[in-house]
């Protein structure tokens, strides 16, 4: 359940976080130029309402649509949200958070339904009119149905907050907020819930206390000062001052989480200090004019309303003092505790909140990279990660397989998020690491950092293949796997599926695969993306299509203007057809080439087939 909440919260905050700059810009314009602002200006103040009622909801919807349906989903989400904006009297940030993903989902499903059925030459017509017609329909639905519903929701939420304020109950939300922060639900709570309500309040009163509930740096500052003054562990004591500076001025609240995890009972300090501070703010009717993100004292004061700077600052000081007074005896009585262990625990928790299941381990013997067929993306990812961890001397075997055939002795399985259910079913005993792509991903960096912390018990890295297999690999002729005829340069950009079919046709024409393998490559892309990062994609067939592979082959197509793979563009596409492991050596060579910036630039700009061919021999 916690993972589900974290995932949903991450999705909500994912629509808001990229637009925080726009929210701050609106807040500063409001604080500076409205009639009650620092520098009243009737002309500049006319920007306040259009930004609030039109720009912000559309930006949020655009981001939400893009998260679900890519660039086309972003446009759909923006169009659909206009109906909600025009059909409601309030600022429709919540409406944008609903209609954006809905618009993205609608166009995504439409594209899937017509994939491969559009007559040649009608692609642009259908692509444009599908967004236009479906966007219009959603906008009308938004105007007559979603807008009024969202207005009612906002009234209920705002009314609920008002009741909490009037009954002096609002301060007690800190009982839930402070523990949730340490569980990495802070962004979900702050930007997924408090920010939309806060903006509605700001539109009515010019400020909102909702922006202050989670972002106050005072509670964390008090804990860090307590460790600085009273910790018996030298490492912890020496690290606390630097952490306090980063926390207070940089606004990175996560830096104090390990200090809480060392002594979980210390969570009482931020809870109590937040309760008192929120109560103080309600007494003085305090608020901020925009979200304080990050929760830095600088950002906090920058969005304080005119005339309330000292009140806002006072709340930070009160929170810090109370948190310090409560935390100090706990730190004194706790004895010396290991900040490194607490930091490692925090990183595990953070990784878990982002899709990296953090089951503790003392030894890892085998890591398995899995994709649908176990032939292309996972092979490249396994090669890269194997080379990356080799200097650690941990003796870990790194292989790649189909996601449905993960060996029973796998300790860790790395796969794309969309394949995680299949991976869990295939290897329930293994720890699961979900990623966006196999070459560059934050969760892979996190896994590497964890492996660095393991005590090295073996000095020789295990080899996954037996010597006889190695001899067979060495006997494979790369010139047969990649031919000059399989290299095409300077191609005109087309739709992703068309580019994949173009790649498959070249494999077929060179005798590597049967004709049905071409559509299997498109089907594979719809299961999970074959985009690797660095402008490289490696389309290949599904596991069911392996029987169509006649012999091992790799082709390379260069699209200088790029092929759209969601938010990324692939300049180079390596089509793969593999028999056994014959293609792995060449895949490793490709991996080495694309990791070197100068060689990648040469490949992207190459005009000579001979030059490209030589790079892979």
- The answer to whether 371 is a known catalytic residue is yes
Closest CA to 616 of 439, 440, 479, 438: 479
Count CB neighbours of 127 within 10 A: 16
Closest CA to 18 of 95, 80, 96: 96
**CA-to-CA distance for 220 and 255, rounded, in angstroms?**
9
Residue 481 tokens, joined? 């796997």
Asked if 521 contacts 575 with a C-beta cutoff of 8 angstroms, the reply is yes
Asked if 352 contacts 185 with a C-beta cutoff of 8 angstroms, the reply is no
Catalytic residue among 191, 247, 253, 371: 371
What is each CA distance from 23 to 56, 165, 522, in whole angstroms? 7, 24, 40
- The answer to whether 415 is a known catalytic residue is no
Residue 335: left if φ>0, alpha if ψ -120 to 50, beta else—which one? left
Burial of 26 (0-12, 13-18, 19+ CB in 10 A): buried
Q: What is the DSSP letter of 462?
A: P
Count CB neighbours of 112 within 10 A: 9
Count CB neighbours of 460 within 10 A: 7
What is each CA distance from 591 to 157, 378, 436, 616, in whole angstroms? 52, 12, 17, 10
- Which residues form the catalytic set? 371, 540
């Amino acid at each position: 359940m916690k993972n589900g909440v974290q995932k949903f919260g991450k999705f909500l905050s994912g629509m808001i976080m990229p637009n925080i700059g726009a929210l701050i810009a609106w807040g500063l314009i409001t604080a500076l130029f409205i009639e009650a602002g620092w520098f009243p200006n009737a002309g500049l103040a006319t920007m306040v309402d259009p930004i609030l009622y039109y720009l912000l909801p559309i930006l949020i919807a655009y981001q939400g649509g893009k998260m679900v349906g890519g660039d086309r989903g972003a446009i759909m989400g923006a169009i659909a949200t206009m109906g909600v904006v025009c059909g409601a009297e309030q600022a429709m940030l919540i409406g944008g958070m609903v209609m954006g993903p809905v618009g993205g989902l609608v166009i995504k499903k439409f594209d899937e339904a017509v994939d491969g059925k559009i007559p040649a030459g009608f692609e642009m017509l259908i692509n444009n009119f599908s967004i236009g017609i479906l966007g219009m329909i959603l906008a009308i639905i938004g105007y007559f149905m979603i807008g009024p519903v969202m207005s009612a929701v906002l009234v209920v939420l705002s009314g609920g907050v008002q009741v909490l304020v009037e009954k002096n109950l609002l301060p007690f939300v800190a009982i839930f907020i402070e523990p949730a922060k340490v569980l990495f639900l802070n962004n979900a709570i702050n930007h997924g819930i408090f920010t939309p309500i806060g903006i509605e309040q700001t539109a009515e009163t010019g400020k909102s206390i909702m922006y202050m509930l989670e972002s106050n740096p005072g509670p964390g500052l008090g804990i860090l000062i307590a460790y600085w003054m009273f910790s018996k562990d030298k490492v912890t004591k020496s690290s606390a001052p630097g952490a306090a500076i980063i926390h207070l001025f940089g606004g990175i609240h996560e830096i104090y989480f390990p200090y809480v995890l060392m002594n979980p009972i210390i969570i009482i300090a931020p809870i109590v200090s937040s309760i008192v501070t929120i109560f103080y703010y309600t007494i003085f009717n305090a608020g901020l004019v925009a979200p304080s993100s990050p929760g830095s004292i600088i950002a906090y004061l920058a969005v304080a309303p005119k005339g309330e700077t000292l009140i806002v600052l006072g709340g930070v000081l009160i929170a810090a003092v109370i948190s310090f007074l409560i935390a100090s005896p706990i730190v004194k009585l706790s004895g010396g505790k290991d900040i490194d262990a607490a930091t490692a625990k925090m990183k595990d928790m953070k990784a878990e909140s982002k899709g990296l299941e953090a089951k503790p381990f003392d030894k890892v013997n085998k890591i398995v990279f899995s994709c649908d067929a176990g032939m292309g993306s996972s092979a490249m990812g396994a090669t890269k990660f194997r080379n990356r961890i080799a200097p650690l001397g941990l003796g870990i075997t790194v292989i790649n397989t189909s996601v449905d055939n993960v060996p029973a002795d796998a300790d860790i399985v790395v796969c794309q998020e969309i394949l995680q259910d299949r991976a869990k079913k295939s290897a329930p005993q293994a720890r699961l690491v979900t990623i966006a792509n196999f070459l560059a991903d934050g969760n892979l960096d996190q896994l590497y950092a964890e492996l660095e912390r393991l005590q090295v018990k073996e000095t020789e890295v295990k080899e996954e293949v037996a010597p006889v297999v190695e001899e067979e690999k060495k006997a494979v002729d790369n010139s047969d796997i990649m031919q000059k005829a399989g290299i095409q340069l300077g191609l005109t950009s087309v739709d992703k599926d068309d580019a994949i079919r173009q790649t498959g046709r070249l494999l077929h024409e060179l005798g590597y695969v049967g004709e049905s393998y071409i559509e299997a490559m498109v089907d594979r892309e719809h299961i999970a993306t074959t985009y690797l990062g660095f402008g490289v994609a490696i389309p290949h067939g599904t596991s069911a299509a392996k029987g169509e592979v006649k012999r091992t082959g790799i082709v390379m197509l260069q699209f200088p203007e790029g092929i759209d793979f969601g938010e990324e563009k692939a300049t180079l596409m390596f089509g793969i057809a593999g028999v056994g492991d014959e293609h792995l050596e060449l895949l490793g060579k490709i991996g080495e080439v694309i990791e070197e910036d100068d060689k990648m630039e040469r490949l992207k700009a190459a005009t000579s087939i001979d030059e490209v061919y030589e790079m892979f021999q």
